[in-house]
Structure 1
Amino acid sequence: MLKISSLCEERLDVFLSDVLKQSRSQVVRLIKENCVCVNKKIEKKSSKKIKQKDEISILLPQTKEIKENYTPEFDITILHEDDDVLVLNKAPNVVVHGASSVKEATLVDWLLYKGYILSNLNGDHRAGLVHRLDKGTSGAIVIAKNNQSHQFLANQLLDKSMGRFYLALSDLPLKKDKMSNEKAIMRCPSNRLKKITTSHLNSLAKSAKTDFINLLSGKDCSLIAAKLYTGRTHQIRVHLADFNRYILGDELYGYKGKIKYNRVMLHAYLIYFIHPRTKKLMFIKAPMFDDFYQILKENFTQGEIDEKTSLDYLKFSFSF
């Protein structure tokens, strides 16, 4: 329990963001989870105007215990682990965190099942999560073991010093070897599962930027790399669809190939960030899963694959 007295009049979320040195979104989560009291009463409105000498109490959410019905029947490969950070290679079709609609074990459940102590800035269902991946997307994901590391890493997402290179198997190559999409992303009015792009920023649209490069072009598929500058839901998928290019298996955004896949062929291949304790820049590669790699081997030579997916080639191509 943390108690703070306000010294001025301002919005509750703005005040807490400044005092706790956390992002507004993290503060809003605390408020939504009934973790914030104003003058000993739970406050649910982030926009509440607090007054001078108001007493604000904060109870950080506790990490949930694993439910018996959600015992993970999968395992996750650890790419890096130390006292502050865990980097995992998430398998395809594993849900990252719980929600009311999720009736299966999640990545967070797996972490708790393994006995990890995680940061709790994002509450019960998102313990330790600095960012997320869609269910069908595989690859590198960063987990924070403590709140200090979580905040340090979250700040890097905001200032773009943390970055991610993705690999996507597409039906067609890009029209140009290098393309960028900076259109904002919003929910599709006619399909709540889908996102669309818009040229106009508004209260419903969030800014987004993705760079794309052609890596390999074949008769039946192409390998495209993507660099994220923002982390919007379905960002790579919707930005590629804007170019009339569709990821294999991504029927939601327009893939109409004869071959059916049991997931979207998108893989978070490389992640880089400054370590919260050592302050050293780290690059961590997540090996491709068999379903993804098999398609590559059927269409390209081993030499082509190794050359175009090397760290040096990707860094050079994206002018890192």
Structure 2
Amino acid sequence: MNNKKFTAQEEIRLDMFLAQKLNETRNQIDQLISKGFVSVENKKKAKSGLKLKVGQNILVTLPEVIKEKPLEVDFDIEIIYEDKDFMVINKPSGVVVHGAPSVKVATLVDWLKKKNISLSTVSGEERHGIVHRIDKGTSGLLCIAKTNEAHVALSKQLENKTMGRFYLAMIDLPLKEDITIDAAISRNPSNRLKMGLLSSGKRAKTSFVKLSLSTNEKYELIAAKLFTGRTHQIRLHLESLHRHILGDSLYGFKGNVDKIKRVYLHAYSLYLQHPITNEKMNFTASLPEDMENFYKSNFNEEDYNEKINTEYIISRFNSTN
């Protein structure tokens, strides 16, 4: 353990005082205080909002940092675009975007660090460079910030909708029509692995358009456009329509999961403005091999290039407005 002692020179909140002295974020300071690593005048039960008085003594007992063995990165990732400010990558299915207490495998962030790629730091240690994320099982486009200036600019684009993505999904029952779902999402109280439609949750809005029907009329390729970015949003909104993405057993897919190894959801197209120059930019990531093969085996192969095309997808969404 490493002890640090301080004396307050002015009246100030405890968390603000320690954030200045230790050069840590307020969130990190709050965790130290809540876990009992901070005492004021030898009293352990300190609170972040405590107003310090001049002359009060503060003791911080910093826990030892356990250096874990770096996780082996045994995958590679396609870089779609890169400059000094940001990059766009095509994440494979099965790769987790960033670390968490429950994650025991190498992540996209681990891969970026292994490549010695300069990354923004505004999102914290485990999320260096991560502007937005997609689920482990989902493949496709992700934007990575290489500088803090770029990160802030790209995050603002997410908020004001000048950055966005079009997703492609294969579902187990065709939609009756193009549709927009506007329904709030929160953690499912009965299953913490899932999200649920709860009026007390955060607003979530998704538009779906029909693209191509399989030759046996059992499956359908659809496109999805997000107006908000909630966890599992596309998957949950489809479940509310009694439709399920192929391979998505968590949200009700009952088909042959032995043949479909993952969720057939792909972030196909990304549009944004360059974070520094404001140039409008568009990127695409072709369907991964498993989804492409499924399409060519079950749909009209001659329609592949026509239907899986950014211009066609945009025209379909425009026709629904």
Structure 1: distance between partners of 2:31 and 2:254: 48
The answer on 1:241 being equivalent to 2:239 is yes
The farther-off stretch of 148-157 and 254-263 is: 254-263
CA distance in 1, matches of 2:240, 2:261: 23
Q: Give, in whole Å, the separation in 2 of the partners of 1:242 and 1:46.
A: 43
Partner of 2:220: 222
Q: 1:28-82 CA deviation, whole Å, 9 max, x = no partner?
A: x943233999xxx99xx9995999xxxxxxxxxxxxxx96441210000000000
Question: Structure 1: which 5+ runs fail to align?
Answer: 1-8, 14-28, 52-65
Find out whether 1:141 has 2:142 as its counterpart. yes
SS of 1:193's equivalent? Answer: coil
Distance 2:31 2:252 in 1: 43
TM-score, normalisation: structure 2: 0.79
Preserved CA contact (<8 Å) 1:76 1:89: yes
Give the TM-score normalised by structure 1: 0.79
Which residue of structure 2 aligns with residue 183 of structure 1?
Answer: 183
Partner of 1:211: 207
Q: Which residue of 1 aligns with 2:81?
A: 80
Paired AA for residue 168 in structure 1: A
Gap runs ≥5 in structure 2: 1-11, 17-23, 33-37, 40-45, 53-66
Are 1:117 and 2:115 counterparts?
no
What SS does the corresponding residue of 1:87 show, helix, strand or coil? strand
In the other structure, the counterpart of 1:154 is 155
Amino acid at match of 1:283: N
Q: Measure the CA separation in 2 of the matches of 1:253 and 1:67.
A: 35
CA contact (8 A) 1:31 1:46 kept: no
Return closer, same or farther for 1:99/1:301 CA change in 2, 3 Å cut-off.
same
What is the CA-CA distance between 1:281 and the residue it aligns to?
A: 1.2
Residue 27 of structure 2 corresponds to: 32
- Is the CA contact (8 Å cut-off) linking 2:270 and 2:284 kept in structure 1? yes
Provide the rounded CA distance (Å) in 2 between the counterparts of 1:310 and 1:185.
30
* Aligned-partner Cα distance in 2 for 1:50–1:72: 46
Question: How far apart, in 2, do the equivalents of 1:156 and 1:48 lie?
Answer: 33
Give the secondary structure class of the aligned counterpart of 2:235: helix
Residue deviations 1:188-210, cap 9 Å, x none? Answer: 11100011113x2x3xx111110
Q: Distance in 2 between matches of 1:47 and 1:312?
A: 52
Offset at 1:172? 1.1
Q: Deviations over 1:134-171 (max 9, x none)?
A: 00000000000000100000011111111110000100
Specify the SS of the correspondent of 1:33: helix
State the alpha-carbon separation in 1 of the partners of residues 313 and 157 from structure 2: 21
Alpha carbons 1:140, 1:268 under 8 Å: kept: yes
Residues 168, 221 of structure 2: 8 Å contact kept: yes
Q: Which range moved further: 258-267 or 139-148?
A: 258-267
Check conservation: 2:235, 2:245, Cα contact below 8 A: yes
Distance 2:109 2:93 in 1: 15
Q: Percent identity?
A: 46
Whether 2:193 is the aligned partner of 1:197: answer no
Q: Distance in 2 between matches of 1:270 and 1:187?
A: 28
1:258 and 2:259 equivalent? Answer: no
Distance 1:246 1:309 in 2: 20
How much does 1:289 deviate? 0.9
* Maintained 8 Å contact 1:30/1:36: no
Question: Radius of gyration: which is bigger?
Answer: 2
Closer, same or farther in 2 for the Cα pair 1:30/1:292, shift >3 Å? farther
What's the counterpart of residue 3 of structure 1?
Answer: none
- Which residue is equivalent to 1:278? 277
d(CA) in 2 for partners of 1:208, 1:312 = 25
